[in-house]
A = this chain, B = another copy of it.
Amino acid sequence: MRQSPVLPILQIVHRPGILDLSWGHPDPAVLPVAALRRATATVLERYGAEALTYGAERGPGPLIEWICTRLAHTDARAPEPTDVVITAGASQALDLLCTLCTTPGDTVLVESPTYHLAVRILRDHPLELVAIPADANGINIDMLETLLAQLARCGKRARMLYCVPTHHNPTGSCMSLERRRALATVAAEHGVLLVEDDVYRELSYDAPAPPSVWSIAPPGTVARIGSFSKSLAPGLRLGYLTSDALLTQRLIGSGLLDSGGGLNPFVALTVAEVCASGDFDATVAHLCATYRERRDALAGGLRDHLPPGCRFTVPGGGFFQWVELPEGIDAGALLPHAEQAGVAYLPGSRFYLNEPRHNTLRLAFSLYPPHQLIEAARRLGEAITAVA
């Protein structure tokens, strides 16, 4: 008889005794199970087999219409339906853009630090990645222009630029409106496709999210990637992209979308129902209240427990708190000590393409309730103090 090991269902691996703030995962307790149960039942009742067959390549009409209406409220400009494509998550949208909008050897610019798994997706394609430094206000536009000029002198052109302007992963920062405008202008001038990872827009805790770069850029300059992974549930694998009709036409004309009949049609119709029923609004309100409290608890814990010389800026949204340790403390070398003290994180070096700042780390405040985040901060402070 064949051996049957018990195979996992989940990605996360829990380590006993460790508050593991390395996972950028939602707390299972806040995922909208009841809303999904209602929506799946309603969709199969209302649409029957139409919910289960090959869907429109662009994605189902009801979800596209809802996204257009939603972005009219949460962004500075609403897309037309022909600007939108429904995708199987944000990662899949990025993968699809790499496949369909680049040619082998193309230069792709990546702000640094940046979302480390986006870099992994980019590296799975035959692209040359080049880092652009970013600070608390986002990409350094002067350095971007210098870099584009350098590339031009080598007869190269940057084809794409990947960035997370809003509630950045890992730093939590928001690009200033001035930089967004400048970025849009420079990208348009140089024919660089901006890939704007905008998955945290709905998770804004203090003020509405700033206008997306997509909303203020000339048409065709930006492909903005949105997602229901943060605002509803990551296991749904549902996201979307807004660009202009020319780029979305390239995507829906691809072999993958034609052959599959859209990228995730049953789930997309289900999410359209979650949105239409009011459950999306209620879920996002609950998530924002929950994560705001957690962000504040972690920030309070860090203020109380980190030794002098540590610096952090409290983010206005998203999942992540970025911490700078005193110069000379390497977050990678600190990690075993932190784990000994019962806390884990991702060393900041993971998020740099090159020239990492070793005294940085990323804490996710999404997974644990407030009292555990405060305890995690205490343990982190203890570990830093021990090695300092």
Residues of chain A having any CB pair with chain B under 8 Å: 2, 4-12, 25-26, 28-29, 31-33, 36-37, 40-41, 44-45, 47-58, 60-62, 64-65, 68, 72, 78, 80-81, 88-89, 91-92, 95, 99-100, 103-105, 117-126, 232-237, 254-256, 258-267, 269
Contacts and interface: CB of A to CB of B under 8 A. Distances in A.
B237 A260 contact: yes
Number of copies: 2
Instruction: List the 8 closest A-B pairs by CB distance, nearest first.
Output: A7-B61, A120-B255, A28-B49, A121-B255, A104-B104, A52-B233, A117-B259, A40-B40
A267 B117 CA distance: 23
Contacts of A119: 255
A65 B104 contact: no
A88 B259 CA distance: 12
A61 B6 contact: yes
Contact of A56 (B7, B53, B55, B62): B7
Given A53-B28, A55-B10, A124 B255 contact: yes
Nearest to A40: B40
Contacts of A51: 33, 235
A180 to B, nearest CB: 24
Nearest to A250: B124
A37 B41 contact: yes
A267 to B, nearest CB: 6
Nearest to A120: B255
A125 to B, nearest CB: 7
Contacts of A56: 7-11
A25 B262 CA distance: 14
Nearest to A13: B56
A122 to B, nearest CB: 7
A127 B53 CA distance: 31
B255 A234 contact: no
Contact of A53 (B31, B44, B49): B31
A99 B120 contact: no
Contact of A54 (B100, B104, B234): B234
Nearest to A56: B8
B55 A235 contact: yes
Given A7-B65, A68-B2, A235-B52, A256 B37 contact: no
B61 A48 contact: no
A81 B5 contact: yes
